[in-house]
Amino acid sequence: MIWSELTSVIADNRSFLISSHTSIDGDCAGSELAMLWHLKSLGKNVTVYNHDALPPKFAFLKNAGELTDIRPQGPFDALMVLDCSNTQRLGWEGAENIARTIINIDHHRDNINFGNVNIVRSTASATGQIIYDYLSHVKADIPAEVADALYTAILTDTGGFRFSNTNGSVLAVCSDLCERGADCSGIYEKVYASFSPNGLMLQSRIWSTLAFHNNGTICTMEMPYSLIDELGATGGDSEGMSDFTIMATGVEIGMLIKYGPEQTHFSLRSNGRVDVGKIAKKIEGGGGHGSAAGCTMSLPFAQAKPLMLEILSRELG
Ligand SMILES: [Mn+2]
């Protein structure tokens, strides 16, 4: 890791724009806030802009209000792109022209090294972990509010320390962040356990559709989009429900089916035997990873669901 390149590009520039991928998540927000703090502590002018607004569950982070979705004028000396494999994923045009220098800090495997300076480490659990290592390298005295931001980045990108990217070095970093004052239990509660009553009601209605098919190897849950408004919930309240569809023993493939009058969306999950990314890719606009993928059919639910069940049953043999 060539930290000296990052240190000199920071030293050589005065105004910075920080940005991250569309639908910003905990790793984006935490990484951005940590870098915002670091650059400001060096006397830099810093603007943070993302295509999408910060999800409300991350609003508790100190200085979260500085993460704006209003396009700034520019130009800037440097654009620092965090947690983003390529400039298209920023979701906004003109990244190449908004600054002279692009700094790319990321942990995605498919990062294309689009920056003038590229700090890409696919073994890191989160971009926040790379930033932690850098701040430690420059001996920055990480305050509690920044420890909160970095802990949130790592907590969310490891799925609450459940995913296979959780390892000893990740936990060692989190141990230090905890020592520095990160509010571990408070952050867990705010990120994972703060539903509205309407949101939980929505989840209970989705749970009530639980069904098994193909000799118990396929599990489904369903939700008409209209249910969100009907219950006064939000789209985010159904987030993560698809993960429950592969938790029953014997299930190979799970899916949460969300549908409107003309369109049916499938959030597919696999326990590993079947590559659901490949299945999703065959359907227009679909894609994803082997264990989690999504696709949409331009068909009403009544036609789309049996069609998808047929495709999956054939895949399972
Ligand atoms: Mn990430």
* 142-156, 168-182, 283-297, range with the lowest pLDDT: 283-297
110 vs 219 pLDDT, higher one? 219
Task: Give the closest residue to 294 by CA, choosing from 275, 307, 281.
Answer: 281
Tell me, in angstroms, the distance from the centre of ligand 1 to residue 22's CA: 12
Q: How far is the CA of 167 from the centre of ligand 1 (A)?
A: 16
Bridge partners, residue 79, by sequence: 17, 102
| Distance (Å) from CA 106 to ligand 1 centroid | 7
The CATH architecture assigned to 3-192 reads Alpha-Beta Complex (3.90)
Judged against a pLDDT cut of 90, whether residue 132 lies above it is answered with: yes
Mean pLDDT, the chain, whole residue set: 95
- Which sequence spans correspond to the domains of the chain? 3-192, 197-316
For residue 3, report the distance from its CA to the centre of ligand 1, in Å: 20
Q: Is the pLDDT of residue 280 over 60?
A: yes
Residue 171: partners with Cβ closer than 8 Å, 6 or more residues away: 161
Ligand 1 mean position to 32 CA, how many Å?
11
CA triplet 280, 165, 61: central angle to 5 degrees?
A: 95
310 Cα to the center of ligand 1, angstroms: 34
User: What's the 200 CA to ligand 1 centre distance in angstroms?
Assistant: 27
Q: Which residues of 37-68 are buried (b: 16+ CB within 10 A; e: fewer)?
A: bbbeeeebebbbbbbeebbebbebbeebebbe
Q: In angstroms, what is the span from residue 157 Cα to ligand 1's centroid? A: 6
308 C-alpha to ligand 1 centroid (Å):
30
Residue 94 Cα to ligand 1 middle (Å):
23
Q: What CATH number is given for 197-316 in this structure? A: 3.10.310.30
Give the per-residue pLDDT at 287: 79
Q: What is the mean pLDDT of residues 200-205?
A: 97
Residue 119 is predicted with a pLDDT of 97
Q: How far is the CA of 74 from the centre of ligand 1 (A)?
A: 26
Between CA 287 and CA 289, with CA 288 as vertex, the angle to 5 degrees is 140
Q: How far is the CA of 288 from the centre of ligand 1 (A)?
A: 15
pTM assigned to the model: 0.85
What are 52-103's pLDDT values in tens digits? Answer: 999 999 999 999 999 999 999 989 999 999 999 999 999 999 999 999 999 9
Instruction: For residue 99, report the distance from its CA to the centre of ligand 1, in Å.
Output: 23
Instruction: Quickly state the pLDDT bin for 221 (edges 50, 70, 90).
Output: very high
Task: Give the pLDDT confidence score for residue 101 in this predicted structure.
Answer: 98
Check residue 52 and give its pLDDT: 94
Mean pLDDT, to the nearest integer, of 107-121?
94
Q: Does residue 1 register a pLDDT over 60?
A: no
Cross-strand bridge partners of residue 119: 105
Q: What is the pLDDT of residues 230-274, one digit of tens each?
A: 999 998 899 889 999 999 999 999 999 999 999 999 999 999 899
Does residue 135 carry a pLDDT above 60? yes
Span 113-118, average pLDDT? 97
Q: What percent of the chain has pLDDT over 70?
A: 100
Instruction: Give me the mean pLDDT over the 147-157 stretch.
Output: 97
Q: What are the structure tokens assigned to 38, written together?
A: 């670091």
Instruction: Report the pLDDT value the prediction gives residue 313, as an integer from 0 to 100.
Output: 97
Question: 251, 271 in Cβ contact below 8 A?
Answer: yes
Q: Tell me the CB-side half-sphere exposure of residue 70, using CA atoms within 13 A.
A: 3
β-bridge mates for residue 256, sequence order: 221, 267
Rounded distance from Cα 89 to ligand 1 centre (Å)? 13
